[in-house]
């Protein structure tokens, strides 16, 4: 069987004017039977169209905060760094991926991006904007392969089908999160403070995203199952 070629959205370092990549994104896909390829950052529609046709699926990685303008809000002081080029490219790419029903897996920024592009909104800073009686460590200190909190998984969701667990301890490194959920997304998992930690598009073959970071512990069983489910979805292309 030919291994599926999977496009991986690049991380960007403004100071070094450099694309870069965490090895766990690539290794997670490789160990699951796919061939990961880091994409360029481009806003050229013809190039993006060619990319969509050339790859079996796409991994939307973590990184910069999503521009609040993408979900109809002004940027607050507590919003983090934004990369406009990533936002614009990923908006174009995601639209085409959804239209063509290509597999898409979002991690951290990925879940926030999917929600924003599909009409949802985000907390620009969870500690500032989301107050609950339950304290959850959403932004742990290194090492990032250690669990930080628990998520509860909907038994009717694809995530339960993949993991065969109704709860899971996950790592966590984010300060933004889903506020109003897009009507096109269905929640799969929530943290103890009720923040949404996993979503999917029920009318698509594989558009799924999680808030935690399986790339940091890609050899662990639950993380490897996530990558395997994604690569298997790409194999069906």
Cis status of the peptide bond prior to 207, with omega within 30 of 0: no
Number of domains present in the structure of the chain = 1
The question of whether 215 is a catalytic residue gets the answer yes
Per residue in 193-218, pLDDT tens? Answer: 999 999 999 999 999 999 999 999 99
Q: What pLDDT does 1 receive?
A: 66
Taking the C-alpha atoms of residue 209 and residue 108, their distance in angstroms, rounded to an integer, is 8
> For residue 58, what is the domain's CATH number?
3.40.50.880
In this structure, the dihedral spanned by the alpha carbons of residues 139, 142, 145 and 150, taken in order and rounded to 10 degrees, is -30
The question of whether 108 is a catalytic residue gets the answer yes
* Candidate list 79, 90, 91, 108, residue with the active-site label: 108
pLDDT value at 15 more than 90: no
Give the SS3 label for residue 44: coil
Cβ-based neighbours of 22, under 8 Å, separated by 6 or more: 11, 61, 215, 216
Q: What pLDDT does 12 receive?
A: 92
Per residue in 49-66, pLDDT tens? Answer: 999 999 999 999 999 999
The question of whether 91 is a catalytic residue gets the answer no
Domain that holds residue 95: 5-235
* Candidate list 64, 138, 174, 213, residue with the active-site label: 213
The closest of 153, 149, 160 to 126, measured between CA atoms, is: 149
């Amino acid at each position: 069987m030919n291994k599926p070629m999977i496009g991986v959205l690049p991380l960007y370092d403004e100071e070094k004017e450099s694309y870069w990549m965490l090895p766990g994104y690539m290794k997670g896909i490789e160990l699951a039977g796919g061939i990961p390829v880091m994409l360029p950052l481009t806003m050229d529609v013809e190039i993006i169209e060619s990319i969509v046709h050339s790859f079996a699926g796409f991994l939307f990685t973590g990184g910069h905060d999503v521009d609040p303008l993408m979900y109809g809000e002004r940027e607050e002081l507590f919003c983090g760094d934004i990369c406009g080029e990533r936002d614009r490219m990923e908006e174009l790419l995601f639209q085409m991926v959804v239209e063509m029903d290509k597999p898409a897996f979002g991690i951290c920024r990925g879940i926030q991006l999917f929600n924003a592009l599909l009409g949802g909104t985000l907390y620009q800073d969870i500690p500032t904007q989301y107050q609950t009686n339950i304290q959850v460590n959403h932004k742990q200190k290194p090492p990032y392969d250690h669990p930080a909190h628990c998520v509860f998984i909907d038994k009717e969701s694809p995530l339960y089908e993949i993991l065969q667990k109704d709860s899971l301890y996950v790592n966590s490194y984010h300060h933004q999160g889903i506020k109003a959920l897009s009507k096109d997304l269905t929640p799969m998992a929530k943290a103890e403070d009720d923040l949404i930690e996993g979503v999917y598009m029920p009318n698509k073959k594989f558009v799924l995203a999680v808030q935690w970071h399986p790339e940091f512990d890609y050899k662990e069983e639950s993380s490897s199952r996530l990558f395997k489910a994604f690569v298997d979805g790409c194999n069906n292309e």
